[in-house]
Structures are given as C-alpha cells and as structure tokens.
A and B are shown apart, each in its own frame.
Chain A
Amino acid sequence: MSRTLEASEIHKYFGGVKAVQGVSLTLETARIIGLIGPNGSGKSTLLNVIAGIEKPTKGTVTVDGRRVDGWPAHRMVELGVAKTHQIPKPFLGMTCRENVAVAMMYGSRREGEPASALEESRRILAMVGLDRRADAPASNLTVQERKRLEFARVLATGAGLVLLDEIFAGLSPDELRDAIALFARVQKEQGFGALVVEHVMRAVMILSDFVVVIEEGRKIAEGSPKEVVEDPAVIEAYLGSEATNVTP
C-alpha cells in the first residue's frame, strides 16, 4: 500500500526562537528524501513536529489526506510513521531482542504475543547486522551498535514511512560505506519511504531521490541531489568551499 505524508507550511517557535518557518515537504512510500542544512537550521525540530513529538505552532501534517498534526508520537507510530532518535535511546535494562520486541508489539504491527515478537525480533536484528548481539543487554552496545538498534526498532514498528535523524553520523569512511549499503539494501527489501536528516553529505547524495535544504528554519532549495549541489543559494549558504567534495 502506498502512503503519503505531507507536511505543509510548518512553523515551530520556542518562545521567541523561530526554529522552523514555513517548510513544506512530501514523503512517499519507497522514496528517500534527504533533509540537509547547517547546524541549528531546524532539521531535527521539523522531524520532531512530523513525528508528533512536538506540536507545530502553525501548519499542517497529513497522512494519506488525514490531518495528524498535534497527534502524540505513539499514535503516529500506530499510523505507520516512526522516527529514530538522534542520540540513540535504547532501553538499557533490556536485551536487544526485547528492545525490538517492544517496537514489534506496540508499533503498527500490533504483534500481541511476546513469544512470537521475540522470535521475529531475531530476523530484524539480522537485517541490520546485530544478530550476534541479540541476547546482549542494550547497555553493553557500542554507540554504533546502538544506532543500528535504533534503526532496527523503527523497522520493527512496521512503519511504512520512517524518519531518520542522523543515523550515519560519527562513522569512519569504511563504516559509512557499509552502513549506506546496508541501509540501501534494507530499504529496497522493505520498500519504506524515508526522510533522512543528515550531516554526512555523501550519504544523502547517494541515497536520496530528492533533497530539501533548509537554513535558519526556511527552505532555501530543493530538487534532485545534482540540482541541489549546483544551486547557487545552497553553495552560498551551506556548502561553501566544501561544494567540490560533495558529489560522490
């Protein structure tokens, strides 16, 4: 089933700080949208608004035409929209399998039986390459493993549209290559649509079908990765001298 999430004219103010000012974007099944922008440009806030973690000050979010802005996060997950945390938040007292099982039982799959959820968790952990750590307590994982667990949990919710907050950050070039390949493979298998907020330009440029650039809470450019990289506004505002290094 094809799903469409539309965020239009999203504004989010914190007191006097205008974190997001009128950004619109569309997310669809099987498409990867990259969201880039400098530090503090409002990327994470926008993601939080879409995921139901924050309420928009103005603007609407619809999923398949149904208005969902202001819905709490857990209802968005039921609907099939789930987000990873920029800083992974594993349930430290549980094993990896149990972590994934929670998502399996409470996400849109609504798997009712802990036993079968735990069984199914193995498959998902294998998908992200954590199968060897399945029965390890999450507190024993390294930062990179925690990021994979974060991704596995989002997959386990059964979400058709996923929001990924910097899952490629802090990787060495080799790790990054592996992670990108893994992500591309899983995305192809599962066919979800993804909104990828990323600092790592290479990942965004390789993976994305479409890129949105924001700066100081405003959208300054959008288009295919190639178009965006060549956009003078983007080069001016964000890429600067790095522009030459962006294209893969």
Chain B
Amino acid sequence: MKLPKLRAIGPSLWGIGVFLLVLAGLAPWIPRFPLTILVNLLIFAALAYSLNFITGLTGYVNFGHVVFMAVGAYTLGYTVGTIRLHPLGGVALGGLMALVLALGLGAVTLRFRGVYFAIASLVTPLAGLNIVLVLPALGGGQGILLNIGFDPLSWFYTIWAIIATEVGLTYWITHGRLGYGIRAIKSDEDAAKSLGVNAPRLKLFLFALSGLFAGATGGVYAWTTSGVFPEAAFDLTFSLRMLAMIVIGGMGTLLGPLIGAIAVYLPSRFFLTIFIGTESIIIGLVVIVIALFVPGGIVGTLRKYVPELRRILE
C-alpha cells in the first residue's frame, strides 16, 4: 500500500507531529523533576495508544492489557539484570516478547466475541501474576531490583520514539483500506466477513501491535522504576487507567489517547497531593457518564457538535 502524500496528511497528524517535535527539542532544557512527570505522562499516553489499536479500533474491550506491559517490564528486568543488556535492548526485547505473547493469546481469545473476550482478558493478568510468583528466575514474589540509574532524558527519547511510531501507525491504519475493514469489523463482524474481510487476521494484527507497544512501554516503565515488582507489574488498575484514557479521549481516534492520557494523568498528579484516592472516584464517574451519554469521548463529541472541527479532528 502506498504511503499517503504529505499534502494529504490531516491536521491532527500535523498537530501531534509538531507537538512531539517541540517536546523533543525542549526536552534537554526541561529540569529533571518536571521531565520525569512528562515521561510518566508519555508512558501513559503510549499505553493508551497501544490499547487503542485493539479496543479503540475494533471494540474488543481488553481489561487485561497490563499483561503485555508486565511481560515487557519483566523482559527488561531479566535481561538487564542477568546479562547486563543495555536498557534500550531490554525495551526492544520486551516489545518483542509481548508481541509473541499477543500472537499466541490473541489466536485463542480473539475467537471469543464481545463479553467473552472481555472476561478472558480479565483473567489473564491474574493467571500471569500467579505464574510469575513461582518463577525463581523472575524473583518470585520479590521481583527484580535493578541498579540502572536515573536517566530521564534517555527515558524521554525512548518513550517519545514509541509514541511517534504508534501515532504514525494509527494514522496509516485508519486512513487506508485497512481502516475500512476495521470499521466494518467494529460495526458488524459477521457482515464484514461475508464481504471478504479477513477478520481473524486483521484482529490478530491489531492485537499484536497492541502487545508490541505495550511491551516496549512496560520496558520503559521498568527502566524508570529501576525494577519490576509482581503486584505492581500485573496491577489491574493500570489496565483500567488505560481504558479510562481511551474512553474519555475518544476510542479509535488519532488524538483521543493523547487527550485522554492528559485528562486522566495530569489531574491525578495534582489531586494526589490534595486528597488521595479522589481522582479515581472522579475518573470512574466520568467514564460512566461518557460511556452512557457521550459515546465518542472528547474527540468524538467535538467532532459531532463543532462541524468546523470535523475535518481537523479526523
């Protein structure tokens, strides 16, 4: 398939592109503490984009996305801890391992429709956690403590590259022939199949991408925390946060995951110091309201009610 001509690339992509380039240019001058906050925000955005590939684009609600993140984190922890691999290598391998897991898992669970897929996805992190707990090589219940130092600028550029790739791929997928097939699957999978859409292959492709990027991001996360700890790595609340981000931002859109990540992550940073726990209550309420009354999230709603923005927010 041909790459779109530069002129044909939409304003959303330009917008995100400029935003990312400006960030990349500014990063070396940002003081360390704000930079770590920015890195954390980008980690969440990267996770949201990775989940968007499967849940946003196809409508298969994945509650267990955190497994891919955990696999990436453990891969980095193990390879950096035992064979002294450079963390960047750990990130790449983490992505790869998560991709392999996604292919294996997806080949089975993507056969389940609707709620059955969601349920299967909910139990995989629980099973994963209980398996890791008995693996001595992965530190069992203790986890893996690394000593790889504090290097926010490297974290930043790594996660930056991951997001840039995700955004580019999301654009490429949604704006071509594949995008039509995927929308057809999301709308009515049986009808899509009966018009020639190879739904199983397309879903597996998206699931694999989703695993790849979540795994790589999990690697970056382990790098920033300088270690992997089982209860934290398989923490379902991560999955739930990511899901909240894409629901709030707008499922399946190009800008949604970024906006959702900002909308969910930044307030929680500030609320954290005021009253602990309140931000999740608010996020929960917002998710309910959006799911029931505002399908399409922030981006979808803007597109619907502000026609001038329709062409911009593709």
Instruction: Name B's A-contacting residues (CB within 8 A).
Output: 1, 176-177, 179-181, 183-184, 186-188, 190-200
**Which residues of B sit under 8 angstroms from A94, Cβ to Cβ?**
183-184, 187
- CB of B187 within 8 A of CB of A106, answer no
CB < 8 Å neighbour of B187 from A78, A83, A92, A108: A92
The answer to whether the Cβ of A232 comes within 8 Å of any Cβ in the partner chain is no
What chain A residues lie within 8 Å of B200 (beta carbons)?
Answer: 72
Q: A225 at the A/B interface (Cβ < 8 Å)?
A: no
Given contacts A91-B184, A94-B187, A106-B181, contact A74 B193 (CB under 8 A): yes
B193 to A102, Cβ gap below 8 A? no
CB neighbours (8 Å) of B183 from chain A are: 91, 93-94, 98, 102
CB of A53 closer than 8 Å to a CB of B: yes
Pairwise interchain contact B196-A78, C-beta atoms closer than 8 A: yes
Given A83-B194, A102-B197, A106-B180; 20 other pairs, CB 8 A cutoff:
A51-B194, A53-B193, A53-B194, A73-B194, A74-B195, A74-B196, A74-B197, A82-B195, A91-B184, A91-B191, A92-B188, A93-B187, A94-B187, A102-B192, A107-B196, A112-B1, A113-B177, A114-B177, A117-B177, A157-B196
Please state if A102 and B181 are interface contacts (CB–CB under 8 Å): yes
Q: How large is the interface on A (under 10, 10 to 19, 20 to 34, 35 or more residues)?
A: 20 to 34
At the interface, yes or no: A134 with Cβ under 8 Å from chain B? no
State how many angstroms separate the Cβ of B51 from the closest Cβ of chain A: 20
A55–chain B nearest beta-carbon distance, Å: 14
Q: With A74-B199, A92-B187 in contact, do A102 and B194 touch (Cβ < 8 Å)?
A: no
Q: Give which listed residue, A105, A113, A154, contacts B181 with CB less than 8 A.
A: A105
Partner of B195, one of A92, A107, A112, A117: A107
Q: Is the CB of B196 within 8 A of A90?
A: no
The A67-116 residues at the B interface (CB cut-off 8 A) are: 72-75, 77-78, 82-83, 85, 89-94, 98, 101-103, 105-108, 112-114
Q: Please give the distance in Å from A62's CB to the nearest CB on chain B.
A: 20
11 contacts between A and B (CB under 8 A): A77-B194, A91-B187, A91-B191, A92-B187, A92-B188, A94-B183, A94-B187, A98-B180, A103-B196, A106-B184, A112-B177
